[in-house]
Amino acid sequence: MKEIGSIAMDKNLYNEIVRYISELTLQRFYYLNLADDIANSILVSFMNSSTSTDPYEHTKDYIKSVFPKAVEDVFGYYQKLTLQYCLTKTKDHSVSEDISQEAIRQLLSSKNKINDVYSWLRQVTHNLICKHYQFKANEKDLHNLLYMETSSLQNVMESGTTIDIEGLDPIKKKEILASQEYRDYCAMLSFDSIKEYASSMNVSEKVAQKRKERVTRNIRSKILLAIGWEASREILSYNQYSAIQKFIRELLKMGCSGKDTKQSNKLYPKLTQVMNGIERIDDWGITMVDNCKFQLHIFHLNAEKQPIIATFYITLNERNHISVENCKKNEIIGVHPIPANILIPKEKGKSLWSYEKIISLLK
């Protein structure tokens, strides 16, 4: 099979690749919505492969050849996420490894449709931690805290607008009940329909629906922060999310035009340097590091098919104004091939979740 090379990814080719990956994923993982994650892994590999005269000619063959490795990478990432979450709760690496592996096994053996894999894994991992500490007398306090958070975590991540906070820690619950976000939420729920809600505010149903989305996002954000979430777009309130989106658009203008904004000229000359050459933002994430302080991460695959991650250390104040404290661009430094005379122990070079093991658990 010829290799597919460093090619220009036009819209038709992109759609064809994503469509075929989705078909393969649905065939193997009928109950799990993994198409986006597997597609992202394969697309990066595809765009970095060698040149062919016709990129359409061998696309399906290439995708079939790298599909097993992409599945291993995706489940390796899921394993890492669940392990990190366990460690924040248990502080025990051995226990966390066991729990994270069990969560992946339950994911693969599930016969229910799972659209949001990340939320499902977080919920199941949380439940497994509760179960682990349930019979440990010396960990009773931790178990009680986790148990109170469980119902709230499950409820807040489910679709719909009805949110129950009865499972929260009493102190956190009291803070939420006294908040403006909760009052707005209760006021919204007092109406039987979006039409009545719109009429009460003397606005159109379209505006009322937007208001409903704002209220729901604000209370969800407040609850997730109360139970300890730090790294997710969901922790942002409606206005915070809008401010971040606007800031990202401004960053993108810098990358496309190479021109500074007034803000960057006066205070942040590194912004333009970091954004230079970034023509689009393919993905982004955010982590709260302290009250009002965040790390914003943006991802870009440049014209040379090299991934670039830029990190911005920002402060988001009460008026949702963003100020940048620092920023940096993370690029690949180099590739270091392993000498032929060096042997790596098999257990060190073997994927924790091999493709064969993953497929075997689906049966």
Query: Which CA distances in Å does 334 have to 6, 306, 331, 337, 340?
Result: 18, 11, 9, 10, 19
Q: Got the DSSP string for 53-107?
A: S-TTTTHHHHHHHHHHHHHHHHHHHHHHHHHHHHHHHH--HHHHHHHHHHHHHHH
Is 295 or 60 the better-scoring residue by pLDDT?
295
Angle between helical axes of 238-257 and 205-226 (0-180°, round to 10): 100
Q: How confident is the model at residue 54 (pLDDT cuts 50, 70, 90)?
A: low
| Phi, psi at 277, each rounded to 5° | 90, -10
Is residue 158 pLDDT above 60, yes or no? no
Do 24 and 63 meet the contact criterion of CB atoms below 8 Å apart? Answer: yes
Which of 40-54, 157-171, 193-207, 212-226 is predicted least confidently?
157-171
Confidence class of residue 6 from pLDDT cuts 50, 70 and 90? very low
Per-residue model confidence as pLDDT tens digits over 191-216: 888 899 899 999 998 999 999 989 98
Q: Comparing C-alpha atoms, which of 317, 325, 322 is closest to residue 271?
A: 325
| CA–CA distances in Å: residue 156 to residues 153, 219, 225, 256 | 5, 9, 11, 38
Mean pLDDT of the chain: 79
Give ∠ CA 233-317-169 in degrees, rounded to 5.
60
What are the pLDDT digits (tens) for 203-249? Answer: 998 999 999 989 988 888 888 888 778 888 888 999 999 999 999 88
Q: Report the alpha-carbon distance of residue 26 to residue 147 in Å, rounded.
A: 35
Q: What pLDDT is attached to residue 153?
A: 56
Which of 11-20, 29-38, 242-251 comes out lowest in average pLDDT?
11-20
Residue pair 320/239 in contact (Cβ under 8 Å)? The answer is yes
Beta bridge partners of 283: 299
pLDDT of residue 72: 92
pLDDT digits (tens, 9 = 90+) for 278-308: 888 888 999 998 888 999 999 887 766 677 8
Query: Residue 282 carries which DSSP code?
Result: -
Q: What pLDDT is stored for residue 264 in this prediction?
A: 47
- Tell if the pTM clears 0.85, that is, is over it: no
Separation of first and last alpha carbons in the chain:
30
Position 159 pLDDT exceeds 60? no
Fold of domain 246-332: Nuclear Transport Factor 2; Chain: A, (3.10.450)
Mean pLDDT of 107-124: 90
List the beta bridge partners of residue 326: 313
Rounded Cα distance, 70 and 42, in Å: 6
User: Which residues have C-beta within 8 Å of that of residue 235, sequence separation ≥ 6?
Assistant: 221, 224, 225, 229, 286, 288
Has residue 347 got a pLDDT over 50? no
Percent of the chain with pLDDT over 70: 73
Q: Quick check: 338 pLDDT over 70?
A: no
Q: How confident is the model at residue 67 (pLDDT cuts 50, 70, 90)?
A: very high
The per-residue pLDDT for 149 is 60
8-state DSSP, 342: P
Domain boundaries, the chain: 1-134+336-363, 246-332
pLDDT value at position 337? 67
CB under 8 Å, gap of 24 or more: what pairs does 354-357 form?
354/72, 355/68, 355/69, 355/71, 355/72
Tell me how far apart the alpha carbons of residues 6 and 101 are, in angstroms, rounded to a whole number: 37
